[in-house]
Chains A and B, each alone.
Chain A
């Protein structure tokens, strides 16, 4: 089984090499003449006002929260799907029950207005 992961591991080591090489070549070939005006933050020609890294809209957090719960739940379902042939009918039904409990959460979030964007 580790043999299967060998290829993935080597990929993990080698895949970044190509983009890194593509970033190193311009260091040699490309001109480098920075000046303060050139490196200013781009905002369609208007000078930027205030700090960029400020407090952000809270709703993104809510969606990430709902997503997290769904994500954990779905990951649980994959082994269940792989074992499908060995499962009795009630095994399938309890798996679906697992999903439906999640649906209650979705309906609750929906009714609470978490899924509205404004």
Chain B
């Protein structure tokens, strides 16, 4: 009776076997039930996330947030859902109707599909496919497509601009993010997420802090959250790719975005914070669900913290930061990690951990020095523009600081 989930699954399996079903069909039925339970649970959490997000942003902005409906305003998301369900749905003129309707469905469905491979506890993991880490990237690629579909099908210039910015940002930040995923894969020697979690007797955030930070930044950009929210910059293009969506279709984008943020929290926990691992989680797997949820929510909170603390960046800054800073940095860390991992085979694990941590700290120190001197130079440019030597002709309207 250590694990109620296994117990229920076993009971169901026995029950179905007694009904006289073939064993293949039983596994199909069990998997289907698992999918329904998992997807419903994820969507229930999603509705709850609306409340979390609104409450947390209110606190960051020194407000109270929803506090009228139910205790602490907990019933607010239910009211939101009812409102979205009975709101008139407007399809703009000239929209490509089929693609327009398909985009929000894809946006939410891809996020739900990510949960198929995330291990929630020692015994609860949807699928243990051997390409789990790449599966996450692949599903994310379809998510990118849903955004370009929404932006294009709306037949709206703001939407198209927003979608293009968002997609350029997502594909750019996918490079450092996927390499950041590659580092835990090297450390665990497996792409299966359950294996990655099980091999983390020491959390990978200790062994690969730089990869963790890069993954977090990449997640922030993939989500299109501030400081990378130029795809929905309110002051220029109003809402970006979902500007023409109303009612429940907008609701699906909103729900997808919130759930995506929480999912990235869960993925961060899986790759770097030991997933469901915690005190007693192996003997009592039900505890693992709690640990996983706490870690995922904590990382979700960190993502929100970043979102509500930083101002928006410009598109050139966003691309420069990705291609000229994050990508070279993570490629360097990847090379060093790979060589060190090979050279350190056979040494006691604590030396291995210490060496990895030390290497990361040394790299971080050099990064700090480089970024510091770069920032000093940039500040000088702003302080005294006349001294700046411009390398190529600049249009009259742009100031030298924009050409970096």
A residues within 8 Å of B by Cβ?
A: 1, 3-8, 10-12, 14-16, 18-20, 22-23, 25-27, 29-34, 36, 38-44, 48, 52-53, 56-57, 60, 63-64, 66-67, 70-71, 74-75, 77-78, 81-85, 87, 89, 92-93, 95-96, 99-100, 102-103, 106, 109-110, 113, 115-118
- In the bound assembly, the distance between CA atoms of A5 and B172 in angstroms comes to 29
- In the bound assembly, the distance between CA atoms of A44 and B238 in angstroms comes to 8
Whether a CB of chain A sits under 8 angstroms from the CB of B316 is: yes
Q: Chain B at the A interface: mostly helix, strand, loop or mixed? A: helix
Chain B 74-121 interface residues, beta-carbon cutoff 8 Å to A = 84-94, 101, 104-110, 112-113, 115-117
B156, A52: Cβ atoms closer than 8 Å: yes
- In the bound assembly, the distance between CA atoms of A22 and B39 in angstroms comes to 14
A42, B335: Cβ atoms closer than 8 Å: no
- In the bound assembly, the distance between CA atoms of A63 and B36 in angstroms comes to 39
Give the chain A neighbours of B353 by CB distance below 8 A. Answer: none
26 contacts between A and B (CB under 8 A): A6-B31, A8-B113, A8-B116, A11-B113, A12-B113, A14-B32, A22-B248, A25-B85, A29-B86, A30-B247, A41-B93, A41-B244, A42-B92, A42-B238, A48-B156, A53-B160, A60-B168, A63-B319, A70-B327, A71-B174, A74-B175, A74-B179, A77-B182, A92-B339, A106-B331, A118-B403
Tell me the count of chain B residues lying within 8 A, CB to CB, of chain A.
93
Give the chain A neighbours of B32 by CB distance below 8 A. Answer: 10, 14
Chain A min CB distance to B166 (Å): 11
Give the chain A neighbours of B174 by CB distance below 8 A. Answer: 67, 71
Whether a CB of chain A sits under 8 angstroms from the CB of B381 is: no
B residues within 8 Å of A by Cβ?
A: 27-28, 31-32, 34-36, 38-39, 43, 84-94, 101, 104-110, 112-113, 115-117, 126-131, 133-135, 152, 155-158, 160, 164, 167-168, 171-172, 174-175, 178-179, 182, 185-186, 189-191, 238, 243-244, 247-249, 251-252, 315-316, 319-320, 323-324, 327-328, 331, 334-335, 338-339, 341-343, 392, 395, 398, 402-403
